[in-house]
């Protein structure tokens, strides 16, 4: 027989906890059975605390009836592995030039290390996760990406090696896994009809997958709070924007630098049929839950006009 | 374009909220897909706030993957209706003497009013609830209860009229509804093979149903915090007891009065195969969630030896 | 060892019985797997013999492969209950003015008494019936009915209280039950998004339900043989009429009084997609079977032009 | 607009019809979803009226929720065909001596003619029938029957040619068809592992099939009313007998001649697990329905002790 | 312990065997889950070796994931049976004049003999085959064929008796059997709404069935290698032709005689939606496999323009 | 229009091809729907031709109705990668000492490179393959392996680092994929309850998986022909051995060296319930097909006594 000491304080806390759970109810109800793609990237992939936050958030989404699908990138880890193996990373227009050796390293790091780590973390918190490269079940059919650069005022094709772009997403395998309540964790590798693998841009691939499986939302985990009027002033965060607004902001130079390809990936996802794309900061604890389950959200939501 | 003001305070609160959601994760994971019967009764049935708490709690249980089944009683409302119709309630050994007219009133109040109100409340918060009397789908097969009283040192049979006891629970209909994610709300009325209806004790019926459907837990919503050494001192609450402990406490006179039949109903449920029965206080906001989703719980849990 | 005496007479009778069963074969074949809504009302709800006839008929329909759905009204019983509770029924344009107290009585009588009695009767004859109010599974979404009366040559809105009209039928729950071979028995109560209940006209609701679930037929059980040229002469019964014919008959004053709203409910059902509506007399034994399984039928069938 | 003349007489008749349908209700309810094997043979296979009765009866059984399976014989037609082809039928112990040519004729008549005719008739009255020989889907695995005769006081083996006995029934195909609401019509032909076909005794095969599929009843359509104390006096019909009673009756010489193998086939079926076997007279119109759907039945029912 | 002697030769042979299996892989992959109708006719129906080849080929198709459906004819055997029964076969325009007696013989031979033999053979090699006449499950709805002949320069209708043409194919039964991995074997008999059977042209019926079930290919097993420029010179075989090419060849007199109705049946199949029709020679061992699983095929393939 | 030249030679070849396909029929029939685990290792993992043979063989198994599951090892490639990264491989008792860095390399090579390559190859030949590490779906639950060495006559525990052994196989995910006709390709990595990964012996893991999923056969692809009396004389190959025979051969020193742990893995598989384990030579083209689809097989089969 155990007795318990109940103080008034304790009672209040408990009730508060329950209230918080209940506050999530309308959101849980609203997003029931819907697919949500989470593009996992940036700082949150290397910080142990952030890894745990995000894994817990994703597992919770699954348990409360949503169907999360994780797509991850891998930038810094690939560079680290290349250096270890004595290769120097090289980029053109933000795309990694990928020779055969580099592709091997990309595959090993993305699929062999990062993907497995995410799967382990999700498993640790009770989720049934399945790691997939784009090769499994012909998931991502890709082709070589033709890239042009402007050189002496002329548009010239450059060879990026084994860099590809998505031709078609074969959703059968994802659908089977989701139906059986698994969480697919996808590495951005594509394959062509001859069995050749290609390195893909994870942001774009996440949007292609989100569109193909009919996801409601695409959550982009980044290292910034969202789109801000002044990048140094968090109070200037835009909560909600439309495609034409962000396009105007790019034109006007408000959105610049590394945020531009991110925004282009968001627009790609919206064009593929996703209802809203959310740029959130992976450094904020549980930012995924906060974005989905609170009224005001935490980052920038972009929608169609 | 909407901008948001983010204060540090606000940020903290949000993170705290997320932490609370995440704290529930292991419990959600543990009870996934399990059936939980909630016996709804007492003060919580007449207080509007409590009605809302409990409805929200039950709907949340459903959304996070548990399968709640609600069984309700109806005491005070039946008395009120009887008085309105000029009939005086009469009890023997805590059981309502039920003539044909009284049975009509019982049916009207239980099924026509209370059951419907619970279904409406659950629906309001996003749950798909279905009201069932024990008659639907031959759900509760009952027979007339034979009751004895001691009169002048002799055991004498008394006629309680249309008061019955459960003979068999037909779980097919409940299983169909649960599988399709509905929340069954059951009035404690039974029926015999000739189509005669019987008034049943809701606590006992809840245990019979919980056992028949293979429920993991039976939550008894009452007007007290649980089993206490001193009924006036909440600090004497017992957190966990076994059947033999409560039986000893009844013998020793620690458990007395109205708590005795409640405890007997708990023992009935455990004997029917339920793993644990929980006596909780419906006056505490969200006591259902707190009992299921927190380490320490909030009431008294009774288990087999 | 039992021997049997077989007389020629006996033999003939038996063969005759078999012939009757066989005569139903083409109708059973024709209506196989089709949904048929039976609006149960009038005298047949209070006469014990009629209750038994109709219950047997409905159960037989189920066993021979049709999918009956029962929708019931409750007029006289509600008045009786109101009187017992000292309230005076009040009607405007045939619609019951329904204050909160009246709504409580309506709910108690419809759901708590009448619906349960029908479910019991069907169960007694081997049917698996499930009682549903319009609240269960968000079955009937309703809104407040705006009613106008003409007062001093002006159209004036009158407040009927909690009288509603159907906005939408959510057929999921009915479909699940039918697929599992249950007979749904529905009380005409609706609910709005805020959880407010409304009293509905049972004839109209039956047509709305029949249309929504794709029923082939709506059988209206009434206290008259059907539409007659001379209400006092059964030989003037019309066997088959079209919408435009009944509309003309109303205009010409052949159809009058209480039959007019009945006919309007029939037209509503046909407009919602039901193929034929049948007005039959509940006082004739087994009128439901006779209408469905005999060539000539027994009442008046109304179809589209 | 059609009016109808309703006379009192007419009304009575109609009600009577409905009463007959309703009388079948408890039987329909009791036998719901159960499998019933009908061994179709004798006079009823050559008389056009009887063919129609029986086809209608079987189709009705299907529509009211039972699962009939038809097994047919073919005696007289095979003899007729053999004569046409200039072959003389030859029997030993009631078993047709079957050389290869005879087997060809048996197959052609049983499968090509009789089976097809039954399927057509059932189809004509709305049933979905499928003709099967024992070869389809490895339905009946058979082996050569070893038959002995007593010759000059010695038991001598005789070669019956391609006469077989059932080794195993493969119920998969029957179960698939029943589940999809087809009526299997089976010719008594078996096949061994080498693809050799065998002619089987239809009565015995019907019992083997009934046992293998878990049929409740086996109905034997014959040319007599059942088992009678005096074969010339229908009033001496036994309504119900047990295995030990019929065995005693054979011993005592009450059951004689062609009835003996029939009774042995009945006992075989009961030993294979069938609950009751019914010997009925195919010359009585709708004897199948009468046996199943009336209290007193029409023939002799044999059950285990 | 068994040791094995392995010679180099032996090793080579084995590897060669494996290579052959592997060569079939792309075809197996390409035709996976597709339906293929095999019209079985001609010499291959009477030669024991050919029967075995074809049965093995069809069973192999099933095991490697294709869904074969066999439709057979029966010409020579029917004539033989008619002669045995003293009837003389009579043809008009290649169609058998079919009186009632002839129809009986046709049914007996097609369904009772040929169909059963094919089912047995398929079973012998491990296939689960089900024999079906067009009557089972209302499979082939037919009507009397109206045939005209030119007599003294006038088109005159002639009565062919019970010769029919397909009105509608009811694919439900075939689909059920295919889904459960059975091989349907269909006799070309049709039935009208009144239960009358009709004798059908097997080539045409095979095309109708192939079209109705959505078959990819129709394989016509004949006694010639395919369409040849010079019927006596196999080297003039056409490998692939279009509808307009064969139509031109008929016009020009290159295709003549018995090949013309065969070609018309092919065109019928293509018009019903079949992708390609293949005329192959049943005398060549395993011609079915060779046509489907080798690059160059073995007969003549006809496709739409 | 294409004509073809058909020489007699050509015809013979074609027929021969068909005969080979047909020879496989009884094996295809026998192993239909059975699960077969293929442990892929040794030389066959680095030779491009062998990779293609094996991929084609596995895909063919899938298409002819078997359910192959591939488990692969990775020895030589891991060493190569370690060297590239400047780490020296270290082994104790044939087990790789696995520190954290080495584990990272193992994961990257096994999952990121080898597994992905196998999946690509299978995909190239038409198979739907899914790469799985033991982490996905909690597939392989493992724990740290406690290893002892004998040092100065004492049994001493040595720390192998992150080397584990299988505790439990969770077959749900494999079963789902097989049912949907995918080919699972599994890397031998396990995970404990805290999310720690472990390097596993692939041969043992393959046996554990084969046993858990109820596989009929485990095919071990090695670099030798099987178990031989004289390792240099292929003619001394044992075709079939039992557990007690191989145990005796180990004792007697006939089986020595690297073959011993291989044989122990075979015995493990048999003890886990696999019916037969087959040691085959991956250097022989299509050895997988030859072992399964030919009478004499190609390697050594080991079965229970």
Q: What are B8-27's pLDDT values in tens digits?
A: 445 557 777 788 888 888 89
C2, C240, C289 member nearest D2 (Cβ): C240
Partners of D150 in the beta sheet? D155
Q: Using the beta-carbon criterion (under 8 Å), do E60 and F21 form an inter-chain contact?
A: yes
**Is residue F160 one of the residues assigned to a domain?**
yes
Question: What are E225-272's pLDDT values in tens digits?
Answer: 999 998 888 889 999 999 999 999 999 999 988 889 899 999 999 999
Q: Which chains lie within 8 Å of chain B at 3 or more CB pairs, if any?
A: A, C
Mean pLDDT of D20-36: 90
Closest chain C C-alpha to D207 CA, distance in angstroms: 23
Predicted pLDDT of residue A170: 94
Q: Using the beta-carbon criterion (under 8 Å), do B286 and A18 form an inter-chain contact?
A: yes
What 3-state DSSP class applies to D192? coil
Q: Using the beta-carbon criterion (under 8 Å), do E15 and F236 form an inter-chain contact?
A: no
Predicted pLDDT of residue D198: 94
Q: Could you tell me whether strands F129-133 and F183-187 are parallel, antiparallel, or unpaired per DSSP bridges?
A: parallel
Query: Percent of chain D having pLDDT more than 70?
Result: 96
**Is residue E19 one of the residues assigned to a domain?**
no
Closest chain C C-alpha to B181 CA, distance in angstroms: 10
Chains E and B touch, contact meaning at least 3 pairs of CB atoms under 8 angstroms apart: no
Beta-carbon contacts of F181 under 8 Å, excluding residues fewer than 6 positions away, are F62, F128
Question: What are A211-230's pLDDT values in tens digits?
Answer: 999 999 999 999 999 999 98
Q: Using the beta-carbon criterion (under 8 Å), do E15 and F245 form an inter-chain contact?
A: no
Closest chain F C-alpha to A56 CA, distance in angstroms: 14
How far apart (Å, rounded) are the C-alpha atoms in residues B284 and F177? 47
**Is residue C279 one of the residues assigned to a domain?**
yes
CA E247 distance to own-chain centroid: 21
Closest chain B C-alpha to C229 CA, distance in angstroms: 41
Chains E and D touch, contact meaning at least 3 pairs of CB atoms under 8 angstroms apart: yes
Number of domains in chain A: 1
A3, A239, A286 member nearest B18 (Cβ): A286
Q: Using the beta-carbon criterion (under 8 Å), do D116 and E111 form an inter-chain contact?
A: yes
Predicted pLDDT of residue E186: 97
Quickly state the pLDDT bin for D151 (edges 50, 70, 90): confident
Predicted pLDDT of residue F163: 92
Which chain B residues contact residue C134 at CB under 8 A? Answer: none
Which chain C residues contact residue D22 at CB under 8 A? Answer: 56-57, 60, 286, 289
Predicted pLDDT of residue E2: 41
Which chain B residues contact residue C113 at CB under 8 A? Answer: 104, 107-108, 112
Domain carrying residue F57? 35-224
Quickly state the pLDDT bin for E276 (edges 50, 70, 90): very high
Quickly state the pLDDT bin for A2 (edges 50, 70, 90): very low
What 3-state DSSP class applies to D154? strand
Q: Using the beta-carbon criterion (under 8 Å), do B107 and C113 form an inter-chain contact?
A: yes
**Is residue C221 one of the residues assigned to a domain?**
yes
Kindly state the tokens that stand for E271.
């018009």
Mean pLDDT of D269-285: 96
For chain C, residues with pLDDT lower than 70 are 1-12
Which chain F residues contact residue A112 at CB under 8 A? Answer: 107-113
Which chain B residues contact residue C109 at CB under 8 A? Answer: 108, 112
Predicted pLDDT of residue B12: 52
D258: annotated binding-site residue? no
Predicted pLDDT of residue A8: 44
Asked if the model's pLDDT at residue E32 lies above 70, the reply is: yes
A130, A173, A197 member nearest F137 (Cβ): A130
Q: What angle (nearest 5°) sits at the alpha carbon of residue F176, between those of residues F171 and F181?
A: 120
Check: CB of residue B235 under 8 Å from CB of residue B247. Answer: no
Question: pLDDT higher for D96 or A93?
Answer: D96
**Is residue E5 one of the residues assigned to a domain?**
no
What 3-state DSSP class applies to C33? coil
Predicted pLDDT of residue F237: 94
Q: Which chains lie within 8 Å of chain E at 3 or more CB pairs, if any?
A: D, F
Q: Using the beta-carbon criterion (under 8 Å), do C285 and D19 form an inter-chain contact?
A: yes
How many D/E residue pairs have CB atoms within 8 Å? 112
Asked if the model's pLDDT at residue B83 lies above 90, the reply is: no
How far apart (Å, rounded) are the C-alpha atoms in residues A5 and A10? 9
Quickly state the pLDDT bin for D61 (edges 50, 70, 90): very high
| Cα distances (Å, whole numbers) of residue B88 to B93, B102, B279, D202 | 16, 9, 31, 72
Quickly state the pLDDT bin for D2 (edges 50, 70, 90): very low
Chain C: residue whose CA lies nearest to D14 = C290
**Is residue B26 one of the residues assigned to a domain?**
no
Asked if the model's pLDDT at residue D3 lies above 80, the reply is: no
B273: annotated binding-site residue? no
DSSP assignments along E192-247, one per residue: -TTS-EEE--HHHHHHHHHHHHT-SEEEEEESSSS-BSSTT-GGGBBSEEEHHHHH
How far apart (Å, rounded) are the C-alpha atoms in residues E120 and E128? 9
Rg of chain A's alpha carbons, rounded to an integer? 21
Which chain A residues contact residue B17 at CB under 8 A? Answer: 20, 23, 290, 294
How far apart (Å, rounded) are the C-alpha atoms in residues A237 and B6? 9
Predicted pLDDT of residue C79: 87
- Give exposure, A78-101, as e/b (b: 16+ Cβ within 10 Å): bbebbeebeeebeeeeebbbbeee
Q: Based on the number of CB atoms within 10 Å of its own CB, is D25 exposed (0-12), middle (13-18) or buried (19 or more)?
A: buried
Complex-level ipTM = 0.90
| Cα distances (Å, whole numbers) of residue B284 to A17, B46, B297, E162 | 13, 14, 12, 84
Predicted pLDDT of residue D10: 52
The mean-pLDDT minimum among A23-37, C68-82, C260-274, D4-18 falls in D4-18
Quickly state the pLDDT bin for F170 (edges 50, 70, 90): very high
Check: CB of residue F50 under 8 Å from CB of residue F283. Answer: yes
| Cα distances (Å, whole numbers) of residue B250 to B244, B264, F71 | 10, 10, 62
Quickly state the pLDDT bin for E1 (edges 50, 70, 90): very low
How many C/D residue pairs have CB atoms within 8 Å? 146
D96: annotated binding-site residue? yes
Mean pLDDT of D131-152: 90
Which chain F residues contact residue E229 at CB under 8 A? Answer: 3
How far apart (Å, rounded) are the C-alpha atoms in residues B166 and B144? 9
Question: What are B177-210's pLDDT values in tens digits?
Answer: 999 999 999 999 999 988 899 999 999 999 999 9
C5, C32, C234 member nearest D63 (Cβ): C32
Chains E and F touch, contact meaning at least 3 pairs of CB atoms under 8 angstroms apart: yes
The mean-pLDDT minimum among E293-297, F14-18, F229-233 falls in F14-18
F18, F229, F289 member nearest E285 (Cβ): F18
Mean pLDDT of F230-241: 91
Which chain A residues contact residue F135 at CB under 8 A? Answer: 116, 119-120, 123, 129, 131
Which chain C residues contact residue B121 at CB under 8 A? Answer: 195
**Is residue B9 one of the residues assigned to a domain?**
no
Q: Using the beta-carbon criterion (under 8 Å), do C17 and D65 form an inter-chain contact?
A: no
Predicted pLDDT of residue B33: 93
Q: Could you tell me whether strands B189-191 and B197-199 are parallel, antiparallel, or unpaired per DSSP bridges?
A: antiparallel
What 3-state DSSP class applies to F32? coil
**Is residue F139 one of the residues assigned to a domain?**
yes
How far apart (Å, rounded) are the C-alpha atoms in residues C50 and B82? 30
Chain C: residue whose CA lies nearest to B190 = C120
DSSP assignments along A135-151, one per residue: TGGG-EEEEEPPEEEEE
Asked if the model's pLDDT at residue E7 lies above 50, the reply is: no
Average pLDDT, chain D: 90
Q: What angle (nearest 5°) sits at the alpha carbon of residue E129, between those of residues E124 and E135?
A: 140
Closest chain D C-alpha to C179 CA, distance in angstroms: 14
Quickly state the pLDDT bin for F6 (edges 50, 70, 90): very low
Mean pLDDT of A187-211: 93
Chain A: residue whose CA lies nearest to B295 = A14
* D242 CB neighbour count, 10 Å cutoff: 15
The mean-pLDDT minimum among B286-300, D85-99, E116-130 falls in D85-99
Q: Using the beta-carbon criterion (under 8 Å), do F235 and E6 form an inter-chain contact?
A: yes
Chain D: residue whose CA lies nearest to C20 = D17
Q: What is the CATH number of the domain that holds E250?
A: 3.40.1160.10
B107, B137, B182 member nearest C116 (Cβ): B107
Question: What are C195-222's pLDDT values in tens digits?
Answer: 899 999 999 999 999 999 999 999 999 9
Asked if the model's pLDDT at residue A1 lies above 80, the reply is: no
DSSP class of residue F228? B
């Amino acid at each position: 027989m155990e007795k318990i000491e109940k103080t008034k304080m304790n009672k209040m806390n408990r009730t508060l906890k329950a209230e918080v759970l209940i506050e999530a109810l309308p959101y849980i109800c609203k997003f029931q059975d819907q697919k949500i793609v989470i593009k996992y990237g940036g700082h949150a992939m290397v910080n142990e605390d952030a890894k745990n936050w995000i894994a817990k958030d994703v597992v919770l989404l699954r348990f409360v009836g949503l169907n999360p699908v994780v797509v991850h990138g891998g930038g810094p880890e690939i560079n680290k592995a290349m250096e270890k193996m004595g290769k120097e990373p090289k980029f053109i227009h933000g795309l990694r030039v990928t020779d055969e050796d580099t592709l091997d390293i990309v595959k090993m790091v993305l699929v062999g290390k990062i993907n497995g780590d995410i799967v382990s973390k999700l498993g640790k918190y009770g989720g049934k996760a399945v790691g997939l490269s784009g090769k499994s079940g012909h998931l991502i059919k890709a082709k070589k990406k033709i890239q042009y650069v402007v050189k002496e005022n002329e548009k010239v094709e450059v060879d990026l090696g084994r860099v590809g772009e998505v031709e078609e997403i074969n959703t059968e395998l994802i659908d089977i896994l989701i139906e059986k309540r698994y969480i697919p964790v996808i590495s951005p590798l594509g394959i062509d009809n001859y069995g050749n693998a290609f390195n893909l841009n994870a942001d774009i691939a996440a949007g292609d997958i989100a569109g193909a499986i009919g996801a409601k939302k695409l959550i982009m985990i980044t290292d910034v709070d969202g789109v801000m009027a002044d990048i140094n002033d968090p109070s200037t965060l835009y909560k909600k924007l439309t495609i034409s607004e962000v396009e105007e902001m790019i034109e006007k130079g408000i959105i610049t630098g590394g945020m531009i390809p991110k925004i282009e990936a968001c627009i790609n996802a919206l064009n593929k049929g996703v209802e809203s794309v959310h740029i959130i900061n992976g450094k904020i604890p549980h930012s995924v839950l906060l974005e989905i389950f609170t009224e005001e959200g935490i980052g920038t939501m972009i929608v169609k006009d």
